[in-house]
Amino acid sequence: MYIGEIAPTALRGALGTFHQLAIVTGILISQIIGLEFILGNYDLWHILLGLSGVRAILQSLLLFFCPESPRYLYIKLDEEVKAKQSLKRLRGYDDVTKDINEM
């Protein structure tokens, strides 16, 4: 949902599809790595758990550096100034009036 809210209109569908593709690919890789003859046995289960845990902790820590969704700030909280600041940070340019008008 976050990707759909912060993506430019022209890329919104493609980025949403890519996100879902990445999830399914991750599930496939996890299933392969979890096979008994790779890491899914009694001696190596802790490595498999550690790989998942490290990724989850890293993602949780990096979440604090993600800006608020401009769409959420503008539509739900009615804070246009904060929404523009967030859009400027995400887009990398100062003129975000077109993006605000699309919301």
> How many Å apart are CA 78 and CA 71, to the nearest integer?
10
Residues, the chain: 103
How many independent structural domains does the chain possess? 1
**Chain CA centroid to CA 48, Å:** 23
Which parts of the chain register pLDDT below 70?
Answer: none
Asked, for residue 90, whether it belongs to a domain, the answer is yes
pTM to 2 decimals? Answer: 0.75
pLDDT at position 86 is: 93
pLDDT at position 19 is: 94
pLDDT at position 1 is: 86
Range of the domain at 81: 67-103
Asked, for residue 45, whether it belongs to a domain, the answer is no
Asked, for residue 93, whether it belongs to a domain, the answer is yes
pLDDT at position 9 is: 87
Asked, for residue 103, whether it belongs to a domain, the answer is yes
Q: Are 40 and 49 in contact (CB under 8 A)?
A: no
Question: What is the amino acid identity at position 50?
Answer: G
Asked, for residue 77, whether it belongs to a domain, the answer is yes
> How many Å apart are CA 94 and CA 88, to the nearest integer?
5
How confident is the model over 19-38, as pLDDT tens digits?
999 999 999 999 999 999 99
> How many Å apart are CA 27 and CA 42, to the nearest integer?
21
DSSP 14-26: HHHHHHHHHHHHH
